[in-house]
Protein backbone atom coordinates (compact mmCIF):
# COMPACT_ATOMS: atom_id res chain seq x y z
CA UNK A 1 0.00 0.00 0.00
CA UNK A 2 1.37 3.37 -0.99
CA UNK A 3 0.25 6.45 0.93
CA UNK A 4 0.74 10.12 0.17
CA UNK A 5 1.04 13.01 2.60
CA UNK A 6 -1.99 15.20 1.84
CA UNK A 7 0.01 18.35 2.67
CA UNK A 8 3.19 17.41 0.82
CA UNK A 9 2.70 15.09 -2.13
CA UNK A 10 6.45 14.54 -2.41
CA UNK A 11 6.26 12.40 0.75
CA UNK A 12 5.08 8.91 -0.15
CA UNK A 13 5.37 6.06 2.31
CA UNK A 14 4.48 2.39 2.72
CA UNK A 15 1.78 1.18 5.14
CA UNK A 16 4.43 0.08 7.65
CA UNK A 17 6.14 3.49 7.51
CA UNK A 18 2.82 5.37 7.82
CA UNK A 19 1.91 3.35 10.91
CA UNK A 20 5.33 4.01 12.48
CA UNK A 21 5.48 7.74 11.63
CA UNK A 22 1.81 8.55 12.30
CA UNK A 23 1.83 12.09 10.94
CA UNK A 24 3.75 13.30 7.89
CA UNK A 25 5.74 16.46 7.16
CA UNK A 26 3.96 19.76 7.92
CA UNK A 27 1.59 17.74 10.14
CA UNK A 28 0.04 16.23 6.98
CA UNK A 29 -2.07 13.08 7.20
CA UNK A 30 -1.35 10.06 5.00
CA UNK A 31 -3.90 8.73 2.54
CA UNK A 32 -3.78 5.73 0.15
CA UNK A 33 -2.82 6.72 -3.41
CA UNK A 34 -5.12 4.06 -4.79
CA UNK A 35 -8.28 2.50 -3.36
CA UNK A 36 -9.21 -0.35 -5.66
CA UNK A 37 -12.54 -2.14 -5.52
CA UNK A 38 -12.94 -5.49 -3.79
CA UNK A 39 -14.07 -8.45 -5.87
CA UNK A 40 -17.35 -10.22 -5.21
CA UNK A 41 -18.61 -8.09 -2.33
CA UNK A 42 -21.79 -10.21 -2.03
CA UNK A 43 -19.74 -13.34 -1.37
CA UNK A 44 -17.53 -11.46 1.06
CA UNK A 45 -20.59 -10.41 3.03
CA UNK A 46 -21.40 -14.08 3.63
CA UNK A 47 -18.11 -14.68 5.52
CA UNK A 48 -17.75 -14.48 9.33
CA UNK A 49 -16.64 -11.07 10.70
CA UNK A 50 -12.96 -11.83 11.42
CA UNK A 51 -12.41 -13.85 8.22
CA UNK A 52 -14.02 -11.15 6.08
CA UNK A 53 -12.12 -8.38 7.90
CA UNK A 54 -8.81 -10.12 7.19
CA UNK A 55 -9.68 -10.21 3.46
CA UNK A 56 -10.58 -6.49 3.50
CA UNK A 57 -7.43 -5.48 5.38
CA UNK A 58 -5.20 -7.62 3.20
CA UNK A 59 -6.82 -5.97 0.12
CA UNK A 60 -6.14 -2.51 1.56
CA UNK A 61 -2.62 -3.18 2.84
CA UNK A 62 -1.47 -5.16 -0.19
CA UNK A 63 1.80 -7.07 -0.46
CA UNK A 64 3.49 -5.66 2.64
CA UNK A 65 2.02 -8.33 4.91
CA UNK A 66 1.21 -11.99 4.13
CA UNK A 67 -2.47 -12.98 4.32
CA UNK A 68 -1.77 -15.43 7.15
CA UNK A 69 -0.21 -12.67 9.30
CA UNK A 70 -3.11 -10.27 8.67
CA UNK A 71 -5.48 -13.08 9.54
CA UNK A 72 -3.75 -13.72 12.88
CA UNK A 73 -3.68 -10.00 13.73
CA UNK A 74 -7.37 -9.56 12.96
CA UNK A 75 -8.38 -12.68 14.87
CA UNK A 76 -6.63 -11.36 17.99
CA UNK A 77 -7.83 -7.76 17.55
CA UNK A 78 -11.49 -8.35 16.65
CA UNK A 79 -12.38 -10.86 19.34
CA UNK A 80 -15.73 -9.27 20.20
CA UNK A 81 -18.87 -8.71 18.12
CA UNK A 82 -20.43 -5.64 16.45
CA UNK A 83 -24.14 -6.49 16.51
CA UNK A 84 -26.69 -4.71 14.33
CA UNK A 85 -29.80 -4.18 16.44
CA UNK A 86 -33.19 -3.47 14.90
CA UNK A 87 -34.64 -0.39 16.59
CA UNK A 88 -37.79 -0.05 14.48
CA UNK A 89 -39.08 -0.75 10.93
CA UNK A 90 -36.17 -0.01 8.61
CA UNK A 91 -33.90 1.55 11.27
CA UNK A 92 -30.97 -0.32 12.80
CA UNK A 93 -28.22 0.53 15.27
CA UNK A 94 -24.68 -0.79 14.81
CA UNK A 95 -23.42 -1.30 18.37
CA UNK A 96 -19.67 -0.77 18.49
CA UNK A 97 -19.33 -0.88 22.28
CA UNK A 98 -18.89 -4.58 23.01
CA UNK A 99 -15.08 -4.46 23.30
CA UNK A 100 -12.98 -4.24 26.50
CA UNK A 101 -13.34 -0.45 26.93
CA UNK A 102 -16.95 -0.27 25.75
CA UNK A 103 -16.37 2.08 22.82
CA UNK A 104 -15.77 1.92 19.06
CA UNK A 105 -12.13 2.86 19.66
CA UNK A 106 -11.40 -0.74 20.66
CA UNK A 107 -11.50 -1.85 16.99
CA UNK A 108 -8.97 0.68 15.70
CA UNK A 109 -6.88 0.68 18.88
CA UNK A 110 -6.48 -3.09 19.02
CA UNK A 111 -5.55 -3.42 15.34
CA UNK A 112 -3.09 -0.52 15.66
CA UNK A 113 -1.50 -2.27 18.65
CA UNK A 114 -1.10 -5.43 16.56
CA UNK A 115 0.58 -3.38 13.80
CA UNK A 116 2.91 -1.44 16.09
CA UNK A 117 4.09 -4.48 18.00
CA UNK A 118 4.69 -6.43 14.76
CA UNK A 119 6.50 -3.57 13.03
CA UNK A 120 8.76 -2.83 16.01
CA UNK A 121 10.74 -6.00 15.12
CA UNK A 122 11.83 -6.67 18.67
CA UNK A 123 12.97 -3.08 19.32
CA UNK A 124 11.68 -1.29 22.38
CA UNK A 125 8.57 0.86 21.77
CA UNK A 126 7.05 3.27 24.27
CA UNK A 127 3.63 4.68 23.61
CA UNK A 128 3.21 8.05 25.29
CA UNK A 129 -0.21 9.61 25.40
CA UNK A 130 -2.21 12.20 27.31
CA UNK A 131 -5.86 11.48 27.91
CA UNK A 132 -8.87 13.53 28.91
CA UNK A 133 -10.86 10.33 29.40
CA UNK A 134 -11.51 7.61 26.85
CA UNK A 135 -8.33 7.38 24.78
CA UNK A 136 -6.26 6.23 27.77
CA UNK A 137 -8.45 3.18 28.34
CA UNK A 138 -8.56 2.16 24.67
CA UNK A 139 -4.78 2.51 24.23
CA UNK A 140 -3.98 0.79 27.53
CA UNK A 141 -6.18 -2.22 26.86
CA UNK A 142 -5.02 -2.52 23.26
CA UNK A 143 -1.33 -2.68 24.24
CA UNK A 144 -1.74 -4.50 27.57
CA UNK A 145 0.91 -7.25 27.86
CA UNK A 146 2.17 -6.76 24.28
CA UNK A 147 5.87 -7.78 24.25
CA UNK A 148 8.48 -4.98 23.86
CA UNK A 149 5.84 -2.29 24.30
CA UNK A 150 5.43 0.00 27.29
CA UNK A 151 2.58 2.48 27.56
CA UNK A 152 2.87 5.73 29.51
CA UNK A 153 -0.41 7.55 30.10
CA UNK A 154 -0.76 11.03 31.57
CA UNK A 155 -4.08 12.35 32.82
CA UNK A 156 -5.14 15.43 34.76
CA UNK A 157 -5.51 14.50 38.44
CA UNK A 158 -9.11 14.63 39.63
CA UNK A 159 -10.41 15.88 36.29
CA UNK A 160 -11.63 12.67 34.67
CA UNK A 161 -14.39 10.42 35.95
CA UNK A 162 -13.42 7.62 38.33
CA UNK A 163 -14.82 5.01 35.93
CA UNK A 164 -12.75 6.38 33.04
CA UNK A 165 -9.63 6.53 35.20
CA UNK A 166 -9.95 3.04 36.67
CA UNK A 167 -10.34 1.48 33.22
CA UNK A 168 -6.64 2.08 32.60
CA UNK A 169 -4.94 2.84 35.94
CA UNK A 170 -5.75 -0.59 37.37
CA UNK A 171 -4.04 -2.70 34.68
CA UNK A 172 -0.35 -2.56 35.74
CA UNK A 173 2.38 -4.62 34.01
CA UNK A 174 3.41 -2.64 30.89
CA UNK A 175 0.82 0.12 31.45
CA UNK A 176 2.33 3.02 33.46
CA UNK A 177 0.02 5.83 34.52
CA UNK A 178 0.75 9.27 35.92
CA UNK A 179 -1.86 11.60 37.38
CA UNK A 180 -0.58 15.08 36.67
CA UNK A 181 -1.33 17.92 39.07
CA UNK A 182 -2.70 20.22 36.39
CA UNK A 183 -5.03 20.36 33.41
CA UNK A 184 -5.35 18.21 30.28
CA UNK A 185 -3.46 20.96 28.44
CA UNK A 186 -0.58 20.54 30.93
CA UNK A 187 -0.53 16.81 30.14
CA UNK A 188 -0.48 17.52 26.42
CA UNK A 189 2.33 20.02 26.89
CA UNK A 190 4.40 17.33 28.67
CA UNK A 191 3.78 14.91 25.80
CA UNK A 192 4.80 17.57 23.27
CA UNK A 193 7.99 18.26 25.19
CA UNK A 194 8.81 14.55 25.26
CA UNK A 195 8.44 14.32 21.47
CA UNK A 196 10.89 17.23 21.11
CA UNK A 197 13.43 15.46 23.35
CA UNK A 198 15.54 13.49 20.83
CA UNK A 199 17.46 11.64 23.52
CA UNK A 200 14.29 10.36 25.21
CA UNK A 201 12.65 9.66 21.85
CA UNK A 202 15.53 7.44 20.81
CA UNK A 203 16.06 5.74 24.17
CA UNK A 204 12.44 4.78 24.60
CA UNK A 205 11.41 4.35 20.93
CA UNK A 206 8.61 6.85 21.40
CA UNK A 207 5.39 6.53 19.38
CA UNK A 208 2.20 8.51 19.91
CA UNK A 209 -0.28 5.90 18.59
CA UNK A 210 -2.75 8.71 18.16
CA UNK A 211 -6.08 8.79 16.41
CA UNK A 212 -4.59 9.96 13.11
CA UNK A 213 -2.77 6.65 12.62
CA UNK A 214 -3.84 5.06 9.32
CA UNK A 215 -4.00 1.56 10.85
CA UNK A 216 -6.95 2.64 12.97
CA UNK A 217 -8.95 3.84 9.99
CA UNK A 218 -8.23 0.67 8.04
CA UNK A 219 -9.56 -1.42 10.93
CA UNK A 220 -12.70 0.70 11.24
CA UNK A 221 -13.57 0.08 7.56
CA UNK A 222 -14.32 -3.54 8.50
CA UNK A 223 -17.29 -2.95 10.79
CA UNK A 224 -19.24 -1.15 8.05
CA UNK A 225 -19.13 -4.39 6.04
CA UNK A 226 -20.22 -6.22 9.17
CA UNK A 227 -23.24 -3.89 9.51
CA UNK A 228 -24.43 -4.53 5.96
CA UNK A 229 -23.75 -8.28 6.26
CA UNK A 230 -26.23 -8.48 9.14
CA UNK A 231 -29.04 -6.87 7.13
CA UNK A 232 -31.57 -9.15 5.46
CA UNK A 233 -30.44 -9.45 1.80
CA UNK A 234 -33.53 -7.58 0.54
CA UNK A 235 -32.69 -4.58 2.71
CA UNK A 236 -29.14 -4.06 1.46
CA UNK A 237 -29.98 -1.53 -1.23
CA UNK A 238 -30.18 2.19 -0.55
CA UNK A 239 -28.42 1.95 2.81
CA UNK A 240 -28.08 5.27 4.64
CA UNK A 241 -25.51 5.39 7.48
CA UNK A 242 -25.18 8.16 10.06
CA UNK A 243 -21.90 8.47 11.97
CA UNK A 244 -21.54 10.69 15.07
CA UNK A 245 -18.53 12.80 14.13
CA UNK A 246 -15.88 14.78 15.97
CA UNK A 247 -12.50 14.24 14.35
CA UNK A 248 -14.20 12.65 11.29
CA UNK A 249 -12.08 9.48 11.47
CA UNK A 250 -15.02 7.12 11.79
CA UNK A 251 -16.92 8.63 8.87
CA UNK A 252 -13.72 8.61 6.83
CA UNK A 253 -13.56 4.83 7.37
CA UNK A 254 -17.20 4.54 6.22
CA UNK A 255 -16.38 6.45 3.05
CA UNK A 256 -13.36 4.24 2.35
CA UNK A 257 -15.65 1.21 2.77
CA UNK A 258 -17.98 2.69 0.14
CA UNK A 259 -15.10 3.52 -2.20
CA UNK A 260 -13.82 -0.08 -2.15
CA UNK A 261 -17.25 -1.46 -2.92
CA UNK A 262 -19.62 -1.53 0.04
CA UNK A 263 -23.02 -0.28 -1.13
CA UNK A 264 -23.56 2.82 1.06
CA UNK A 265 -26.02 5.01 -0.81
CA UNK A 266 -25.97 7.93 1.63
CA UNK A 267 -23.60 8.94 4.38
CA UNK A 268 -24.25 11.47 7.15
CA UNK A 269 -21.44 12.82 9.33
CA UNK A 270 -23.48 14.25 12.17
CA UNK A 271 -21.84 16.66 14.61
CA UNK A 272 -22.86 18.28 17.88
CA UNK A 273 -22.86 22.08 18.21
CA UNK A 274 -19.19 22.11 17.17
CA UNK A 275 -20.19 22.48 13.56
CA UNK A 276 -17.12 23.55 11.55
CA UNK A 277 -17.77 21.01 8.77
CA UNK A 278 -21.55 21.57 8.42
CA UNK A 279 -20.87 25.32 8.07
CA UNK A 280 -18.02 24.68 5.66
CA UNK A 281 -20.22 22.55 3.39
CA UNK A 282 -22.86 25.28 3.38
CA UNK A 283 -20.72 28.43 2.99
CA UNK A 284 -17.49 27.00 1.61
CA UNK A 285 -15.56 28.80 4.36
CA UNK A 286 -13.39 26.98 6.90
CA UNK A 287 -13.96 28.91 10.09
CA UNK A 288 -13.51 26.89 13.28
CA UNK A 289 -15.16 28.53 16.31
CA UNK A 290 -14.01 28.14 19.90
CA UNK A 291 -14.85 24.60 20.97
CA UNK A 292 -18.07 24.38 22.99
CA UNK A 293 -18.62 21.85 25.77
CA UNK A 294 -21.40 19.42 24.92
CA UNK A 295 -23.16 16.36 26.32
CA UNK A 296 -21.42 14.39 23.57
CA UNK A 297 -18.04 15.60 24.82
CA UNK A 298 -15.91 13.16 22.78
CA UNK A 299 -17.09 15.12 19.73
CA UNK A 300 -16.16 18.54 21.10
CA UNK A 301 -13.76 19.19 18.25
CA UNK A 302 -13.67 22.31 16.11
CA UNK A 303 -10.66 21.43 13.94
CA UNK A 304 -11.33 17.84 12.85
CA UNK A 305 -7.98 16.40 11.85
CA UNK A 306 -9.39 13.67 9.58
CA UNK A 307 -11.37 16.11 7.45
CA UNK A 308 -8.61 16.41 4.80
CA UNK A 309 -8.94 12.67 4.16
CA UNK A 310 -12.72 12.89 3.70
CA UNK A 311 -12.43 15.99 1.55
CA UNK A 312 -9.81 14.31 -0.66
CA UNK A 313 -12.27 11.51 -1.49
CA UNK A 314 -15.06 14.00 -2.23
CA UNK A 315 -12.85 16.25 -4.37
CA UNK A 316 -11.48 13.27 -6.31
CA UNK A 317 -15.03 12.07 -6.96
CA UNK A 318 -14.42 8.75 -5.17
CA UNK A 319 -17.65 9.32 -3.23
CA UNK A 320 -20.45 11.48 -4.66
CA UNK A 321 -20.76 14.85 -2.90
CA UNK A 322 -24.53 14.71 -3.37
CA UNK A 323 -24.69 11.59 -1.20
CA UNK A 324 -22.66 13.04 1.66
CA UNK A 325 -24.30 15.14 4.37
CA UNK A 326 -23.01 16.84 7.47
CA UNK A 327 -25.38 18.62 9.79
CA UNK A 328 -25.19 19.55 13.45
CA UNK A 329 -27.52 18.61 16.30
CA UNK A 330 -28.21 21.02 19.15
CA UNK A 331 -27.93 20.12 22.84
CA UNK A 332 -31.71 20.38 23.22
CA UNK A 333 -32.32 17.99 20.31
CA UNK A 334 -29.75 15.58 21.72
CA UNK A 335 -31.66 15.19 24.98
CA UNK A 336 -35.02 15.04 23.17
CA UNK A 337 -33.75 12.23 20.95
CA UNK A 338 -32.33 10.33 23.93
CA UNK A 339 -35.77 10.52 25.55
CA UNK A 340 -37.64 9.57 22.36
CA UNK A 341 -35.37 6.58 21.75
CA UNK A 342 -35.78 5.50 25.38
CA UNK A 343 -39.56 5.53 24.95
CA UNK A 344 -39.10 3.32 21.88
CA UNK A 345 -37.09 0.89 24.01
CA UNK A 346 -33.53 1.86 22.98
CA UNK A 347 -31.06 3.25 25.52
CA UNK A 348 -28.68 5.68 23.80
CA UNK A 349 -25.94 7.87 25.22
CA UNK A 350 -25.54 11.37 23.69
CA UNK A 351 -23.16 10.50 20.79
CA UNK A 352 -25.45 7.70 19.65
CA UNK A 353 -28.53 9.94 19.89
CA UNK A 354 -26.81 12.45 17.61
CA UNK A 355 -26.17 9.74 15.02
CA UNK A 356 -29.86 8.79 15.12
CA UNK A 357 -30.91 12.40 14.59
CA UNK A 358 -28.55 12.55 11.58
CA UNK A 359 -30.67 9.88 9.89
CA UNK A 360 -33.84 11.81 10.51
CA UNK A 361 -32.41 15.12 9.28
CA UNK A 362 -31.27 13.65 5.98
CA UNK A 363 -34.12 11.15 5.59
CA UNK A 364 -35.47 10.39 2.15
CA UNK A 365 -38.20 8.08 3.28
CA UNK A 366 -36.94 4.95 1.60
CA UNK A 367 -34.17 2.41 2.06
CA UNK A 368 -32.49 1.09 5.19
CA UNK A 369 -31.14 3.36 7.91
CA UNK A 370 -28.23 2.58 10.21
CA UNK A 371 -26.96 4.78 13.03
CA UNK A 372 -23.80 4.04 15.00
CA UNK A 373 -23.66 3.52 18.77
CA UNK A 374 -20.06 4.49 19.48
CA UNK A 375 -20.12 4.08 23.27
CA UNK A 376 -21.94 2.00 25.87
CA UNK A 377 -24.60 4.10 27.66
CA UNK A 378 -22.94 3.33 31.02
CA UNK A 379 -19.79 5.16 29.88
CA UNK A 380 -21.90 8.29 30.04
CA UNK A 381 -23.98 7.15 33.01
CA UNK A 382 -24.11 10.57 34.63
CA UNK A 383 -25.67 12.36 31.68
CA UNK A 384 -27.82 9.39 30.65
CA UNK A 385 -29.30 9.06 34.16
CA UNK A 386 -29.81 12.81 34.41
CA UNK A 387 -31.60 13.11 31.06
CA UNK A 388 -33.67 9.94 31.34
CA UNK A 389 -34.22 9.80 35.13
CA UNK A 390 -32.75 6.27 35.16
CA UNK A 391 -30.15 4.48 37.26
CA UNK A 392 -28.58 2.29 34.62
CA UNK A 393 -26.49 -0.66 35.84
CA UNK A 394 -22.75 -0.79 35.21
CA UNK A 395 -21.52 -3.57 32.90
CA UNK A 396 -18.92 -5.93 34.48
CA UNK A 397 -16.00 -4.27 32.62
CA UNK A 398 -16.74 -1.04 34.49
CA UNK A 399 -17.77 -2.43 37.88
CA UNK A 400 -14.73 -4.77 37.96
CA UNK A 401 -12.34 -1.91 37.16
CA UNK A 402 -13.95 0.29 39.81
CA UNK A 403 -13.33 -2.39 42.44
CA UNK A 404 -9.56 -2.53 41.74
CA UNK A 405 -6.90 -0.21 43.22
CA UNK A 406 -5.55 2.68 41.14
CA UNK A 407 -1.84 2.12 40.33
CA UNK A 408 -1.11 5.61 39.01
CA UNK A 409 1.70 7.76 40.41
CA UNK A 410 0.97 11.39 41.14
CA UNK A 411 3.44 13.94 39.67
CA UNK A 412 3.65 17.68 39.20
CA UNK A 413 3.46 19.10 35.67
CA UNK A 414 7.25 19.23 35.41
CA UNK A 415 8.96 17.64 32.41
CA UNK A 416 12.25 16.82 34.18
CA UNK A 417 10.35 15.00 36.94
CA UNK A 418 8.27 13.06 34.42
CA UNK A 419 11.36 12.00 32.50
CA UNK A 420 13.08 10.84 35.67
CA UNK A 421 9.99 8.93 36.82
CA UNK A 422 9.57 7.20 33.45
CA UNK A 423 13.27 6.29 33.14
CA UNK A 424 13.19 4.83 36.65
CA UNK A 425 10.03 2.86 35.95
CA UNK A 426 11.39 1.47 32.69
CA UNK A 427 14.84 0.79 34.14
CA UNK A 428 16.60 3.14 31.76
CA UNK A 429 19.73 4.92 33.00
CA UNK A 430 19.63 8.73 33.17
Ligand X SMILES: Cc1ncc(COP(=O)(O)O)c(C=O)c1O
Binding stretches for ligand X (CB under 6 A): 103, 134, 244-250, 298-299, 351, 374-375
Residue 136: CB partners within 8 Å, gap ≥ 6? 129, 153, 155, 164, 167, 168, 177
What is the phi-psi region of residue 112: left when phi exceeds 0, alpha when psi lies from -120 to 50, beta otherwise? alpha
Q: Which is nearer to ligand X, 280 or 415 (CB)?
A: 280
CA 50 to CA 240: how far, in whole Å? 24
C-beta of 352: minimal distance to ligand X in Å?
8
Q: Which is nearer to ligand X, 45 or 103 (CB)?
A: 103
C-beta of 216: minimal distance to ligand X in Å?
9
DSSP string, 298-356: GG--SS-TTHHHHHHHHHTTSS-GGGEE--B--HHHHHHHHHHHHHTT----HHHHHHH
C-beta of 245: minimal distance to ligand X in Å?
4
Q: What are phi and psi of 348, to 5 degrees?
A: -125, 140
C-beta of 349: minimal distance to ligand X in Å?
7
DSSP string, 271-290: B-S--HHHHHHHHS------
Q: DSSP 3-state helix, strand, coil percentages of the chain (rounded to 5)?
A: 45, 15, 35
C-beta of 117: minimal distance to ligand X in Å?
23
Q: Which is nearer to ligand X, 166 or 351 (CB)?
A: 351
Q: Which is nearer to ligand X, 161 or 424 (CB)?
A: 161
Q: Which is nearer to ligand X, 103 or 167 (CB)?
A: 103
Q: Which is nearer to ligand X, 298 or 401 (CB)?
A: 298
C-beta of 411: minimal distance to ligand X in Å?
26
Amino acid sequence: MKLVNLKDASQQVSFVEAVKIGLGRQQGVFFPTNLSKLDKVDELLDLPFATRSAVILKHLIGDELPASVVNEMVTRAFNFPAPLVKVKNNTYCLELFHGPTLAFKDFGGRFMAECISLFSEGERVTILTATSGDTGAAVAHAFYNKPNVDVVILYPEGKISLAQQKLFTTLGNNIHCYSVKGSFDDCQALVKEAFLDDELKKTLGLNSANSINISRLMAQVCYYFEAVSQLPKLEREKVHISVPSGNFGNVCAAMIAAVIGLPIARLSATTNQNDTVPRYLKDNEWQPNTTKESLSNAMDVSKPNNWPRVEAMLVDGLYAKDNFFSRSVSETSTTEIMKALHVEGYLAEPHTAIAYQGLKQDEQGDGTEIFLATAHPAKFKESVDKVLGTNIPLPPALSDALAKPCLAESITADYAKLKQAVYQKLNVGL
